[in-house]
Amino acid sequence: MNAALKQIRLIKRIDRLIRLKATGSPIEFASKLDISKATLHRTILAMKELDAPIIFDIKSNSYLYLNEVIFKFGFHANTSSDYNLDTKPRYKRKKIKKNIPVPKNETGMF
């Protein structure tokens, strides 16, 4: 499996367990995911770089989101009327000039 797909699937699993408030300690969480604690920390750091508001709550001994967020990755149906493949390009195409005289060389050949 592609490394990027593995990472996305891992993030989805982490997200699901955080939503269920079923992560446990970092060691327990890593064990549930069958990854190392270091991999867990790197993945959570990557999620934070993507603006996931993740914290570890000592009282509940679980990772939590500070506020409700949704992790989505993939292709989804577009319901926006702004998206139209038939629109004209935003740039102007250069017109090609035709019948440009080409200078002859000494032999009279082009």
Which CA distances in Å does 75 have to 28, 78, 83? 32, 9, 14
pLDDT(8) > 70? yes
Q: Is residue 89 part of a domain?
A: no
Mean pLDDT across the chain, nearest whole number?
A: 83
**Separation between Cα atoms, residue 1 and residue 74, nearest integer Å:** 16
Model pLDDT for residues 43-77, shown as the tens digit of each residue: 999 999 999 999 999 999 999 999 999 888 877 77
Kind and range of the H or E element at 65? Answer: strand 62-65
Which of 13-17, 20-24, 83-87, 104-108 is predicted least confidently?
A: 83-87
Domain boundaries, position 56: 3-65
pTM above 0.85, yes or no: no
Q: How many domains does the chain have?
A: 1
Orientation of helix 26-33 relative to helix 37-49, angle to 10°: 90
Q: Is residue 103 part of a domain?
A: no
